[in-house]
Amino acid sequence: MIRNLDVLVGQDVRGRILAGLGRLPESPADQTGWVREVVARMDRELDPGTRAAVLEPCGRICLGQDLIARARELRDKFADLDALLAFLNEKRIGGGKLHREGGIIHAVYERCYCDRVNRATDRISRTYCHCSRGWLGGLFEALLGQPVQVELLSSIIAGDSVCEFAIRPSPR
């Protein structure tokens, strides 16, 4: 996230966002407050598109190359998208509640899977969930073999009862 801030907004804005916060704590349990404050400052300093551009790559990094490779292997094993989604649900990949409505895949999470924020007792801006958009985007691009667009519909850390994302193949 910090590298993305440098690249996208420069050191001055990065400095304002991170002023007085120190480094990201080592323990995920200690990271929640730091993340909450950084995201709140990003909400004040950055436009929505820039906030998404800062956080989305973090989710793609979190996804990792091993899972991307496994997703590509699954793509070759399942010719039918519904069978693939059923397999992913069985393995609890993508929240275990993936379903399709027409050309849109919905991913529904009944809990937040991010160890940095899932212990939060106070709400955190849904801006942070752009990280999950990146994770799902990377996963489904590998599974489908084409670019996708991921839309955040609801967020547990922002106060909603579930996290929900709509995944659509990008127009070519």
Using the predicted structure, report yes or no on whether residue 29 has a pLDDT greater than 80. Answer: no
Other CB atoms within a 10 A radius of the CB of residue 80 amount to 8
Q: Is the pLDDT of residue 55 over 90?
A: yes
CATH label of the domain that carries residue 128: 3.30.1380
Question: What pLDDT shows up at residue 107?
Answer: 96
Please check whether residue 125 is in contact with residue 152, taking contact to mean a CB–CB distance below 8 angstroms.
Answer: no
Mean pLDDT computed over every residue of the chain: 93
pLDDT in tens, 104-143: 999 999 999 998 999 888 999 999 999 999 999 999 999 9
**What's the predicted TM-score (pTM) here?**
0.92
Look at residue 7 in the predicted model and tell me its pLDDT: 87
d(CA 156, CA 126): 8
pLDDT digits (tens, 9 = 90+) for 150-167: 999 999 999 999 999 999
User: What's the 3-state SS for 9-77?
Assistant: HHHHHHHHHHCCCCCCCCCHHHHHHHHHHHHHHHHHHCCHHHHHHHHHHHHHHHHCHHHHHHHHHHHHH
Name the residue range of residue 79's domain: 2-169
Band of pLDDT at residue 65, cut at 50, 70 and 90: very high
For residue 172, pLDDT over 70 is answered with no
Of 26-35, 48-57, 133-142, 157-166, the range with the lowest mean pLDDT is 26-35
Pairwise CA distance, residues 97 & 106, whole Å: 8
Return the ∠ at Cα 159 (arms to 155 and 163), rounded to 5°.
Answer: 20
Quote the number of domains for the chain.
1
Confidence (pLDDT) at 88: 94
